[in-house]
Amino acid sequence: MAWRQVKRVCLAVALLAFLALAARPGLAAEKPNPGPMGKSLEKGRFVVYYFHATHRCPSCRRIEEWSYQAVGRAFAASLKNGGMRYEAVNVDEPANAHFVKDFSLYTKSLVIVEQKDGKTRRWKNLEKVWEYLRDQDRFAQYVVSEIKAFMETP
C-alpha cells in the first residue's frame, strides 16, 4: 500500500514539474515589451509591480503567474505601446530594498503605480490578491477591476 502511494506522489510531482516547465516558455514568449510611452496615456505611465522575496512559496508564485496573465490579457495594448509595464521585483536584492519603505510592504504584494515625470505620483497595494488564490477567474477579475479603477481615477 505504501509503495503505491509513493508511486502516485512521484507521478504527481513529475506531472506538475512537466506542466510548470511547459508553461514557462509560453510566459517568456508573451513577456510585454515596455517600449516608448503611448500617446493615449500622456498624463502618466502605469507600472504593475509584483514584489517578492528570494524564497517563495507556491502561493507567492501563483500570485505572480496569475497577475502576469491577467495584466497581459486585459492590458495588452497598454503594455505594447508602453503606457503600462509589468515588473516582478525581488525586494531582498539590495538595489530594490527601498520599495519596502516606498510602498509600505509587509508581505509579497501586487502594487499599481502611476508615475509622472519619472516619479511616483500615487500607488495602490492590491491586498486582496491573497483572498482569491483558490479561484483564478475571481483573482483576475479583482486585479483587472482594481487596475482599471486606479487608472480611471485622476
Q: Contact at 8 Å (CB) between 120 and 113?
A: yes
Instruction: Give the type of residue at 62.
Output: R
Closest of 94, 143, 87, 90 to residue 115, by C-alpha: 87
CATH of domain 34-152: 3.40.30.10
**Residue 118: what pLDDT?**
84
Across 109-118, average pLDDT: 94
Across 60-71, average pLDDT: 96
Distance from C-alpha of 14 to C-alpha of 142, rounded to nearest angstrom:
32
- C-alpha grid cell, residue 134: 483558490
**Residue 40: what pLDDT?**
39
Name the pLDDT band for 19 (thresholds 50, 70, 90): very low
Name the pLDDT band for 77 (thresholds 50, 70, 90): very high
Non-local (6+) Cβ contacts of 32 within 8 A are 72, 76, 79, 80, 84, 85, 86
Portion of the chain with pLDDT greater than 70, in percent: 71
17-26, 33-42, 112-121, range with the lowest pLDDT? 33-42
**Residue 4: what pLDDT?**
57
Q: What is the dihedral of CA 143, 59, 14, 2, to 10 degrees?
A: -140
Mean pLDDT of the chain: 81
Domain boundaries along the sequence of the chain: 1-30, 34-152
Across 75-84, average pLDDT: 94
pLDDT, tens digit, for every residue of 121-147? 999 999 999 999 999 999 999 999 999
Across 76-94, average pLDDT: 95
Residues β-bridged to residue 50: 88, 110
